[in-house]
């Protein structure tokens, strides 16, 4: 069975390392630190994971929102998380959970979006 392809936007590269390690059997990951590099290739991915660390990155997220690719979004910033909770059609990953709970939630999201 061919693995799906996931795009990870993570300007600090911390979360993308976790994803690549934990889910390498499920997905092939391409990680980017710069939004401009993947703006024209989004359709090649089965899922996108977007880590937001600033308001600028929230703006970048809104530039690709509604392009038809399932989107998992996470942030450590409580104010940004509150803004994200009102957006429909995204899967919001709760980073305040312990690692095992995050892993389970991500596994669920990946299974749901890969169908």
Q: Measured between alpha carbons, how far is 18 from 99 in angstroms, rounded to an integer?
A: 10
What SS3 state is found at 83? helix
Q: Measured between alpha carbons, how far is 4 from 92 in angstroms, rounded to an integer?
A: 20
Q: What share of the chain is helix, strand, coil (3-state, %, to 5)?
A: 40, 25, 35
What pairs with residue 74 in β-bridges? 51, 93
What is the widest separation between alpha-carbon atoms in the chain? 40
Mean pLDDT of the chain: 82
Per-residue model confidence as pLDDT tens digits over 7-60: 888 888 788 888 888 888 888 988 888 766 655 677 788 888 888 888 888 888
């Amino acid at each position: 069975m061919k693995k799906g392809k996931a795009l990870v936007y993570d300007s600090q590269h911390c979360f993308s390392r976790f994803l690549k390690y934990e889910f390498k059997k499920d997905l092939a990951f391409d990680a980017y630190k710069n939004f401009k590099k993947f703006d024209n290739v989004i359709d090649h991915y089965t899922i996108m994971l977007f880590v937001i660390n600033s308001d600028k990155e929230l703006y970048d997220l809104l530039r690709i929102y509604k392009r038809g690719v399932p989107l998992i979004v996470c942030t450590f910033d409580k104010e940004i998380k509150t803004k994200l909770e009102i957006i429909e059609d995204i899967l919001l990953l709760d980073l305040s959970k312990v690692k095992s709970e995050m892993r389970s939630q991500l596994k669920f999201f990946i299974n749901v979006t890969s169908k």
